[in-house]
Structure 1
Amino acid sequence: MSYANQYPVSFKNHIEKIAIVGASGQSGSYIVEELLKTGKHKVTAITRADSNSKFPAGVEVKRVDYDNQSSLVEALQGQEALIITMGVMAPQDQQTKLIEAAAAAKVAWVIPNEFGGDNANEALLRDIPINAVKVQYREQIEKLGVSSWIGICCNFWYDYSLSRGNYSIDIKNRTATFWDDGNTRINTSTLPQVGLGVANLLNLKVLPDNEQDTSPCLSNYKNKFVYIASFCLSQREMLASILRVTNATEEDWKIEYRPVEEVFKEGVERFQKGDFMGMLSGMYSRNFFKDNSGNYELTRGLDNEKLGLPKEDVDKYTKIAVDAVLNGDVAQF
């Protein structure tokens, strides 16, 4: 373990310059918002030359050509951290090129496109191919030997997933299919919590001040995952929250039951036949297995307290999901 007091007085024990890919996206916009609020970071949005994305005031914009590696390296020169947030439809080689460019530009820290479930869980990686492919990016970072990675385990976005019916709860039609008995709990996060979690992570000191310093530092998470969450909920608890915010009762809903492993198997088979929604069904249902893979609060513990994250009101975010459905404003991919 290194300590800040072992370095010259000129040593800077914090991160200032941060580049982000996907700065206007679902999670990226929240991360940028929280980074700017700190007033401690210079934020640079890395975007394609032909992109029409808009960015908030205070964000420097650097346009790149993914077919020209030197443009990526140039855009990342002087950056101390790179955050990669990309949708599932983004070309996979883009992240590879960004990681190579980060190493060439000597970027110390990379947060790869790891926003999701517990990707340190071997069983989840085995069963969910879309998560398993992410291992190669972490291995690439380590093999290049320049940057260190930090994975963000936040699981599914709560109000986003609830509004889309991904938890097998259909708000519009008041129907729910409980997997098994509907009592298995998983962790889930709101987008504001994810944004604040990443910002507070990058606000940490890089190294402990000295051997007596036990406060959280970025180096504690070198080549590891950070575990954050807003709630730990079962499907029944999600429905109970919906009932509270809509002043309804369970009698107003049609509830069915299915074995979760059957739902997962069916989803995988659909995905193998080219049905993308089958992948989603498989991914979500797999987190509700009785092995507690989706409840990393139980199996790993959370870093919420270390990162100064607040306790959130589940009904507040349930209402956001309900309003999105009723207003026809459900977010797409």
Structure 2
Amino acid sequence: MLSGNYIRKVAVVGAGGNSGKYMTGELLKTGKHTVTAITRTDSNSALPEGVEVKKVDYDNQSSLVEALRGQDALIITMGAMAPPEQQSKLIQAAAEANVPWILPNEWSPDSANEALVKDVFVFEKMPKAREHIEKLGKSSYIAVTTGFWYEWSLAIPAAYGFNLANHTVTLFDDGEAKISTSTWPQVGRAVASLLSLPIQAEGESRDRCLDRFKNSLVYVSSFTVSQKDMLDSVLRVTHTGLDDWTVTKEPSKERYTKGIEAMQKGDRMGFARMMYSRVFYPDDCGNYEKTRGTINKLLGLPKEDLDEATKAAIQRSMEVTWG
């Protein structure tokens, strides 16, 4: 039995989603947490085995409050285009239910970078969510910055620039700007390790506690790599040579502008081109390992194999068709 200095009960919104299922699985694996999936009344999405389930109606605030009552932490995972009022309702409900800790819907590049947030509109809601939590004053947040998901993003031609099926790649600028990026399993391990820390410091380990990260952003990653590093990995995994690929270049700022223009014409892939090309600007906005540092070591996160993650991306690219 864990003492009162530890988080035991964790509610997860999006427990069956791309990243949420890894967070949920790793939390359960610790044997230290009871995990409750917060899901819509009409949802039929598959959930990891071992979770408790609470059905909610986002139009009925009392159902959210009741579902969160007694929870030690709330993890919110939602798609980039989810209505922002959904998270606002959850934050308000967590405050009313006296949930002490919230991991808001971050899971992104560095939303503390003001220039990046200004240029990528979907990132604007992240600082707003943090401000909302602080203003209510009932919960503390820890915003986990992960960069873009590697195996998801490498599989999308409009994202990291690779069309894995057609053996083509577009390098932004010279392809040498490094960005920090994470795999889904690493994100899951990071969340489980973070929420397994004592709330207040114990013994001589003054840094290993949640209070140290109260109302702040923390940074975790799998790799800090350039497009050329990714290309080298793809070549190794596919047993191909550079001559087997068509490599072109495009200025990152030009790609960003064209992405916005395409969005305005209704091209949904324009959104991806805009958002992803912005983190590859040569200003280190995507390289938070360099600009902020990570807590990988403190959390005991493993050093991953880039080629294994690339294999997962290639497999995913064969299963999902992107416009």
The TM-score by the shorter chain falls in which range?
A: over 0.9
**1:283 pairs with 272, 275, 279, which one?**
275
Secondary structure of the structure 1 residue equivalent to 2:195 = helix
1:168 matched to which residue of 2? Answer: 161
Once the two structures are TM-superposed, the CA of residue 23 in structure 1 deviates from its matched residue by: 0.4
Say if 2:26 is the partner of 1:34.
yes
1:54 matched to which residue of 2? Answer: 46
Secondary structure of the structure 1 residue equivalent to 2:202 = coil
After superposition, the C-alpha distances for 1:202-234 in whole angstroms (9 at most, x for unaligned) are 001101136x54241111111111100101111
CA distance in 2, matches of 1:198, 1:270: 36
Distance 1:172 1:11, change over 3 A: closer
1:184 matched to which residue of 2? Answer: 177
Q: With structure 1 as the length reference, what TM-score do the two structures score?
A: 0.93
Say if 2:78 is the partner of 1:86.
yes
After superposition, the C-alpha distances for 1:101-148 in whole angstroms (9 at most, x for unaligned) are 000000000111111110111111111110012221111101000001
Secondary structure of the structure 1 residue equivalent to 2:74 = strand
1:147 matched to which residue of 2? Answer: 139
**2:299 pairs with 288, 307, 311, which one?**
307
1:3 matched to which residue of 2? Answer: none
**2:68 pairs with 72, 76, 89, which one?**
76
Say if 2:287 is the partner of 1:295.
yes
Question: 1:162, 1:169 within 8 Å by CA — same for their partners in 2?
Answer: yes
CA distance in 2, matches of 1:330, 1:158: 15
Q: Which amino acid aligns with 2:280?
A: F
The number of residue pairs the alignment matches comes to 321
1:219 matched to which residue of 2? Answer: 211
Question: 2:15, 2:48 within 8 Å by CA — same for their partners in 1?
Answer: no
Q: Which amino acid aligns with 2:153?
A: S
Q: Which amino acid aligns with 1:219?
A: D
CA distance in 2, matches of 1:269, 1:217: 46
Question: 2:208, 2:298 within 8 Å by CA — same for their partners in 1?
Answer: yes
Once the two structures are TM-superposed, the CA of residue 273 in structure 1 deviates from its matched residue by: 3.8
> Sequence identity, in percent?
53
Q: Which amino acid aligns with 1:49?
A: T
Range with bigger deviation, 264-273 or 163-172: 264-273
Runs (4 or more) in structure 1 with deviation over 4 Å come to: none
Question: 1:181, 1:257 within 8 Å by CA — same for their partners in 2?
Answer: yes
Say if 2:15 is the partner of 1:23.
yes
Once the two structures are TM-superposed, the CA of residue 269 in structure 1 deviates from its matched residue by: 2.4
1:266 matched to which residue of 2? Answer: 258
CA distance in 1, matches of 2:239, 2:214: 46
Q: With structure 2 as the length reference, what TM-score do the two structures score?
A: 0.96
1:137 matched to which residue of 2? Answer: 129
Once the two structures are TM-superposed, the CA of residue 320 in structure 1 deviates from its matched residue by: 1.5
Distance 1:96 1:331, change over 3 A: farther
2:200 matched to which residue of 1? Answer: 207
Say if 2:309 is the partner of 1:317.
yes
Question: 1:77, 1:106 within 8 Å by CA — same for their partners in 2?
Answer: yes
1:5 matched to which residue of 2? Answer: none
Question: 1:185, 1:235 within 8 Å by CA — same for their partners in 2?
Answer: yes
Distance 1:321 1:117, change over 3 A: same
Q: Which amino acid aligns with 1:242?
A: V
Secondary structure of the structure 1 residue equivalent to 2:18 = coil
Q: Which amino acid aligns with 1:206?
A: I
CA distance in 1, matches of 2:179, 2:304: 16
Question: 1:34, 1:199 within 8 Å by CA — same for their partners in 2?
Answer: yes
Structure 2 unaligned blocks of 5 or more = none
Secondary structure of the structure 2 residue equivalent to 1:243 = helix
Question: 1:160, 1:331 within 8 Å by CA — same for their partners in 2?
Answer: no
CA distance in 1, matches of 2:248, 2:322: 26
Question: 1:261, 1:286 within 8 Å by CA — same for their partners in 2?
Answer: yes
After superposition, the C-alpha distances for 1:56-97 in whole angstroms (9 at most, x for unaligned) are 332110001111111100000000100000112322211111
1:241 matched to which residue of 2? Answer: 233
Question: 1:106, 1:146 within 8 Å by CA — same for their partners in 2?
Answer: yes
CA distance in 2, matches of 1:80, 1:31: 16
TM-align CA RMSD: 1.6
